[in-house]
Structure 1
Amino acid sequence: MSNNQPMFLRFNFAFVLSFVCLATPAWPDYEAGEGAYQRGDYATALRELRPLAEQGNHSAQFFLGVCYANGYGIPKNLELALQWYRLSSDQGNWLAQNDLGVMYQNGDGVVQDYEEAARLYRLGAEKGYMVAQSNLAAMYYKGRGVRQDIREAFRLETLAAEQNFALAQRMLGIMYMVGTGIPQDYVQAHKWLNLSTARGDTDAGTLRDELAKKMTLDQIAEAQKLAREWTPKGK
């Protein structure tokens, strides 16, 4: 995939935990299952989380969906992943809504349906979930499941980037760099690519360095100053 193409992402466990903790009651079995999942002890995680999922705990249902979707501790089974994601999504779990959207967008275990993918991404995006915002931005960028709207793609990507989501920061930097839906602005492009690089996105670093060759020293200094002064906005 080239650096300037939108990507569609499932959840990233490292930054999802804060969302899950906010949305899940303090149940000892859930906390034990979540801890086991973090350690990669999927057998224990499944033993603790499955009963909770069957009792209707939407976060446990989500993690069960993740395990089936990826084959963590159990044979990979997209049909069961869809089942658990749907149960969690129907209760408003935005992580499940996003991952279910990815399955519809990619046609994983289900007939490919861009409109349904966009609908599910929107549910998560409206709750402020940065991955869903970035995924929906990509749908608007390409006109998949929605009418193409570059300005809306830019708006959504900005919301995700402001939450310090590296991929969204890179995509926003690209939009500024090429002038997609907005006036071309190398200073803003460099700033966002620099921020993404700081989050570990090596592709963003490559783009930033190439962009710098087209900029004056004053422009680079201004962009670096903006990046240093920038602070993320919470969900």
Structure 2
Amino acid sequence: MSNAYYKACPEFDRYNELIEKYWNTKQFEKCFEGHMELAEKGYPLAECQVGYFFYDGIGVEKDADKAFYWTQRAAEHGDRDGQFNLAYFYEEGIGTPVNMEKAKHWYKKAAEQNHDLAIQKCQDLNLGDE
């Protein structure tokens, strides 16, 4: 994670602590629980991570609907990774019907925040200033 993008705050400190203490030691259930606590308080980075945990089944059972829900929350709260992931979910129909218009919208939102993969995706999809 780039510290330049995520602003210092108690939630970010807790996020880093969870990664160091539980993710890096492969205690994924505890890592998920800690992220869920932060996500339920509306912290976008944690919302994005909870979506990823549900998407990949890390520390929790795979659930595409819950992955979509938490990823959408992160995207709407301004997290650029959440925006990119949400676009991908719309493009691939993960937890939601395929919707390329919504996918393009969220790829552009992430690209506006200098998300490298989103910028590349916008170029691939010829998303200029539509």
Q: TM-score, structure 2 length as denominator?
A: 0.89
Residues 1:61 and 2:14 are matched in the alignment: yes
Where does residue 120 of structure 2 map in the other structure? 170
One-letter amino acid matched to 1:65? L
Residues 1:103 and 2:53 are matched in the alignment: yes
SS at 2:96 equivalent: coil
User: What is the alpha-carbon distance in structure 1 between the residues aligned to residue 36 and residue 11 of structure 2?
Assistant: 10
The answer as to whether partners of 1:97 and 1:120 remain within 8 angstroms in 2 is yes
Where does residue 114 of structure 1 map in the other structure? 64
SS at 1:115 equivalent: helix
Where does residue 89 of structure 2 map in the other structure? 139
User: What is the alpha-carbon distance in structure 2 between the residues aligned to residue 18 and residue 160 of structure 1?
Assistant: 12
User: What is the alpha-carbon distance in structure 1 between the residues aligned to residue 92 and residue 77 of structure 2?
Assistant: 23
SS at 1:112 equivalent: coil
- Which residue, out of 11, 26, 34, partners 1:84? 34
SS at 2:125 equivalent: helix
SS at 1:19 equivalent: coil
User: What is the alpha-carbon distance in structure 1 between the residues aligned to residue 49 and residue 76 of structure 2?
Assistant: 15
Root mean square deviation of aligned Cα: 1.6
Gaps in structure 2 of 5+ consecutive residues? none
User: What is the alpha-carbon distance in structure 2 between the residues aligned to residue 165 and residue 18 of structure 1?
Assistant: 10
Q: TM-score, structure 1 length as denominator?
A: 0.51
Residues 1:20 and 2:7 are matched in the alignment: yes
The 1:65/1:139 distance shift into structure 2, 3 A limit, reads: same
The answer as to whether partners of 1:141 and 1:148 remain within 8 angstroms in 2 is yes
Higher Cα Rg: structure 1 or 2?
1
- CA shift at 1:130, angstroms? 0.9
One-letter amino acid matched to 1:58? E
Residues 1:155 and 2:105 are matched in the alignment: yes
